[in-house]
Every structure is written in structure tokens, then in C-alpha cells.
Amino acid sequence: MKSSDKTHFGFRDVDAKDKAGLVGEVFKSVAGRYDLMNDLMSFGAHRLWKRFATGQSGLRKGNRVLDVAAGSADLSKIFAGQVGAEGTVVVTDINQAMLQQGKDNMVNAGLVENIEYAIADAENLCFADEEFDCVSISFGLRNVTDKPKALASMWRVIKPGGRLLVLEFSRPLIPALGKAYDAYSFNVIPKIGKMVAGDEASYQYLVESIRKHPDQDELKQMMLGAGFDQVRVHNLSAGIVALHIGYKY
């Protein structure tokens, strides 16, 4: 992607080279209230979505897993139990404040063995080829500037026979639900952000970023284009969220 190219930051058009910094400021602002806001915005459903996703990981004892844009490390905590003491969970985020939040949560959960942390850009993952049995990115892909580049980067670091899990907001399958979801998202979520996190603008961006993210089929095609095989889609909460799973053979 050329530095002169434009991309979206929510509903705004910005220079592609500036998006990562703008997104970074959003997550620096919300890091301290990230978990609480997730519970409030989703009525706790995000925990069920993440539990379903990790259940599809195929991980076994001794495996090595990479959690990209790990945020508060909800998936990483579950992965740690799946791979056991013989395995490794690598927790990454491009944002130092969010990575620290994730590390604090892991330590508070008593998870300190065989856990690694790294600042990592999804578009240019700083890991060796074919290093991981599974890679995940949960509610982070929509914030990436160049999604095809990020998917290709994740494909590169997965071992043959491994898989990628992409858990992300998507398009509701029922039109009436979509209208109600839009009304809730635009009229309620930013106000909750203002009251709880003291930051209405960041949550306005997060709502807008969901609407700009590729729908189920478009993301599936992106994953196929990045080299993944047998990509399948699980719609959760009637498509409000979707889990995409792609394999590397």
C-alpha cells in the first residue's frame, strides 16, 4: 500500500500511513476500561463468542499459538489451558497500553509460565515462517490498514496443517435485527463510552469501523486470496459476529 493511498478511519477518509497512529490513540484511550466496556456493550456476549472461537482452535498440549491484536488477552487465557505447560502462547498487540492490559490480565489469572509477549504489527509479523500451530485475531482485523497484507502475514507464520481464527463483527443476517443493531450501536454505545470511559469519540469510531469492515463473504474471499484453504464461516448472534476459520496445507 502506497503512503499516498487513502483508507478509512471509521467514516473518515485518511492517509493510509496515518491510520495506525489514529487507531493507536483510540486504544491508548480506552485500554483501562476495555474489559468493562466490552461487557456493557455486548451484554457479556463477547465472552461466549470468544469461548466458541477458542473451541474451534484445534490446539493440543505442546502446541504453539499466536494471539494477534490480543487486547486484554481473553483468548490467550483460554489458549494457555489448551496448550498446557508444554506449549506456548505468544500474546501480541501493536499498542503498548493494550499489551500491558493483556499481560496484567494473564498475570492476575496466574498464567506466567510459557507465555511470551511482543509488540507486533499484524501486517508485518516479526516471527519466523511456519512457527505456529494456530493464529488468532479477535475483534482486531477491522482496525488493520491493509487487511490482505495482514492475512498474508498470518498465513506465513502458520505451520502446514495449522489454522487461522478470525473473530470479528460482521453483517446481521436478519434485516430487522440489522436496523435494531444500527440504532443501538450509533445511539447508545458512544454514550456508554462517554459515561463509563469518558471517551465518546473513540467508541463512535469503533461503531463506524464495524460498518466499514468486510462482510462474511468478502472476508472469506480475502482469506482465500491470502492462501488459506477450506475457509468456513460460523455466524454468531445471527451474524452480528462471525468466526472465519482458514487452514494452511
pLDDT (tens digit, 9 = 90+) per residue, 179-229? 999 999 999 999 999 998 888 998 999 899 999 999 999 999 999 999 999
What average pLDDT does the segment 11-19 reach? 88
The three cell numbers of residue 166 are 478470525
The pLDDT of residue 215:
97
pLDDT tens digits for 65-93?
Answer: 999 999 999 999 999 999 999 999 999 99
Whole-number pLDDT of residue 197: 84
**Predicted pLDDT of residue 22:** 82
- Give whole-number Cα distances, 229 to 109, 141, 246, in Å: 35, 19, 6
Domain ranges, ordered by start, for the chain: 28-171+215-247
Q: Is the pLDDT of residue 32 over 90?
A: no
What rounded mean pLDDT belongs to the chain? 94
Q: Which CATH number fits domain 28-171+215-247: 3.90.79.10, 3.40.50.150, 1.20.1250.30, 1.10.1200.10?
A: 3.40.50.150
**E strand or H helix that includes residue 27:** helix 16-30
Task: Output the pLDDT for position 125.
Answer: 98
Nine-digit cell string for 211: 460498518
CB of 164 closer than 8 Å to CB of 154: yes
pTM of the predicted protein model: 0.92
pLDDT at res. 47: 94
Instruction: Label residue 3 by pLDDT band (50, 70, 90).
Output: very low
Q: Are 228 and 153 in contact (CB under 8 A)?
A: no
CA angle 105-240-135, nearest 5°? 45
Q: What whole-number distance in Å separates Cα of residue 53 and Cα of residue 235?
A: 11
Rounded Cα–Cα distance for residues 140 and 117 (Å): 17
Q: pLDDT tens-digit profile of 125-172?
A: 999 999 999 999 999 999 999 999 999 999 999 999 999 999 999 999
For residue 26, name the pLDDT band (cuts at 50, 70, 90). Answer: confident
Residue 18 has what pLDDT?
86
36-40, 48-52, 64-68, 107-111: least confident range: 36-40
- What is the average per-residue pLDDT within 54-62? 98
pLDDT, position 14: 87
Residues 6+ apart with CB under 8 A from 188: none
